Amino acid sequence: MKLAKWQGLGNDYLVVEESALPGPLTTEVIGLLCDRHLGVGADGILLHGRPTGTVPGAVARMRVFNPDGGEPEMCGNGIRIFARYLARSGAVAEPGFVVETLAGAIRPRLLSNGSVRVDMGRARFRSANVAAAPGAEIPTDGDVVDARLIAAGEEYGFTFVDVGNPHCVIQVDDPATFDVAGVGAAVERHPVFPNRVNVEFVRVEPDGSVRMRVWERGVGETQACGTGATAVGAACVRLRLLESPVLVHLLGGDLVIEVGPEGGDGWPVFMTGSAEEVFSCELSSEFLRRLGWPAGAGDPVEGAAAVAGTTASGESADEPARG
């Protein structure tokens, strides 16, 4: 089986064709493929499949899987990678197109300098992904802005942002020295976030930019998170800390986030950044056997459509995975 490894600001993904899977993409298979010592190594998997027809005009469907097998709604770095992968593979001819995701329709546009500008939809500051719970003070109605929660024995102010997936933005004195792992893991699973949450630790810089580190739900700390940067940009504009466009510094590089004026259904947000192919490869027979897949199989086999608990029709066979 062939696959490609891409990275966006150091956030790396394996791009896999659903039609080429020689066996089920189970939680165990995902974990082994992403293992940096025993497998290919990545922050997750992007699965390229045919659109289901639920998103008008979609040219492809992108599913995202974290190393723990969880399936997040969207991935900002992943959609830039996916857009360039589609162009390089000849699946699209126009610079702008629509991709189906669990978060709905996402509209990337390929730029002449190799970057990708993505219409990320709307940023919202309240959704079903945040709820009243012990250890937190949140508004009973309206936006969850400048709220409070207790994690790892300390109280933190936070702003909740939903950009198709949930984010908790926390201002800190210095992201470089902050305990991202300890606090991030505690906040991710805080009861105020029923579906868990991605956590961004940020500081506004004197030059009008913002610096962040991110703890990703189901992954841990990564070099970059596109939806996280989008959430941070939206939060900074919503809190009147910065004006759009917002330059966001991540460990892996920079992203530019444009935030439009608030509308009746949220704040329009756009993300621009890079993505590049690292290599393509073909898995060995030995590794395929370790995955429990037919060694040397040239075509998909019966059961290959079973992707992380999903049936061939695309409907969940169990409770939806959370990532």
Measured distance CA(18)–CA(12) in Å, rounded: 19
CA-nearest of 243, 166, 188, 178 to 210 is 243
Residue 319 lies in a domain: no
Integer CA distances (angstroms), 72 to 45, 59, 165, 233, 301, in order: 11, 20, 7, 20, 26
Q: Which pLDDT does position 295 carry in this prediction?
A: 77
Co-location of 197 and 286 in the same domain: no
22-41: burial string, b at 16+ Cβ within 10 Å, e else: bbbbbbebbbbbbeeeebbe
Q: Which pLDDT does position 323 carry in this prediction?
A: 42
Co-location of 162 and 127 in the same domain: yes
Co-location of 93 and 131 in the same domain: no
Tell me the one-letter amino acid at 322: R
Co-location of 225 and 282 in the same domain: no
pLDDT digit string (tens) for the chain, length 323 residues: 999 999 999 999 999 999 999 999 999 999 999 999 999 999 999 999 999 999 999 999 999 999 999 999 999 999 999 999 999 999 999 999 999 999 999 999 999 999 999 999 999 999 999 988 988 998 878 899 999 999 999 999 999 999 999 999 999 999 999 999 999 999 999 999 999 999 999 999 999 999 999 999 989 999 999 999 999 999 999 999 999 999 999 999 999 999 999 887 899 999 999 999 999 999 999 999 999 999 765 444 444 444 544 433 333 333 333 34
Residue 322 lies in a domain: no
Would the CA dihedral through 41, 165, 230, 91 be positive or negative?
positive
Co-location of 128 and 266 in the same domain: yes
DSSP 132: -
Measured distance CA(157)–CA(30) in Å, rounded: 35
Co-location of 127 and 242 in the same domain: yes
Bridge partner residues of 116 (DSSP): 110, 273
Q: What angle do CA 194, 195, 198 make, to 5 degrees?
A: 115
Count of structural domains within the chain = 2
Co-location of 89 and 220 in the same domain: no
Residue 250 lies in a domain: yes
Residue 299 lies in a domain: no
Residue 320 lies in a domain: no
Co-location of 262 and 153 in the same domain: yes
Residue 192 lies in a domain: yes
CA-nearest of 75, 70, 125, 116 to 96 is 116
Count CA atoms within 13 Å of residue 88 on its CB side: 15
Domain at 132, CATH number: 3.10.310.10
Co-location of 143 and 65 in the same domain: no
Q: Which pLDDT does position 306 carry in this prediction?
A: 47
Residue 103 lies in a domain: yes
Co-location of 280 and 231 in the same domain: no
Co-location of 34 and 14 in the same domain: yes
Q: Which pLDDT does position 296 carry in this prediction?
A: 64
Residues taking part in catalysis: 75, 225
Residue 306 lies in a domain: no
Q: Which domain holds residue 14?
A: 2-111+276-291
Co-location of 257 and 144 in the same domain: yes
Bridge partner residues of 270 (DSSP): 119, 258
Tell me the one-letter amino acid at 15: V
Q: Which pLDDT does position 316 carry in this prediction?
A: 35
